[in-house]
Amino acid sequence: MNIKIVEKKDNDLRVEIEGEGHTLCNAIKSILFEDEALVFAGYRIEHALLSKPILYIKTDGKKDPLVLLNETLKKLVERAEEFKEKFLKELEKFN
């Protein structure tokens, strides 16, 4: 996975996430929408065979979009860890 900031303005951010697809982008977008500072979040994949989605983030100016993305990624990692712990606990019941 390669990440590249395509464009950064005061309240706008475009990030290319090479090597990923809908799964990661939807997870990020879903968590972004939980923040009140978010005005818009979306992503675009130009071609299905080229795994280079562009993530778009626009805030209301109360929070920098890079800060918002960083907070979102931390939440995503926390939730993945929580899922892993719960899954492993359930898996133990079958062993």
- The CATH number for 6's domain is 3.30.1360.10
Q: How many domains does the chain have?
A: 1
Give φ, ψ of 33 to 5 degrees.
Answer: -65, -10
Tens of pLDDT, residue by residue over 26-70, are 999 999 999 999 999 999 998 777 789 999 999 999 999 999 999
The pLDDT of residue 66: 97
77-81: average pLDDT: 98
Percent of the chain with pLDDT over 70: 100
Direct distance between the N- and C-terminal alpha carbons of the chain, in angstroms, rounded to an integer: 34
| Domain that residue 65 falls in | 2-92
- What is the chain's mean pLDDT, rounded? 95
5-18 burial by CB neighbour count: b if 16+ within 10 A, else e? eeeeeebebbbebe
Identify the CA nearest to 16 among candidates 26, 28, 29, 6. Answer: 6
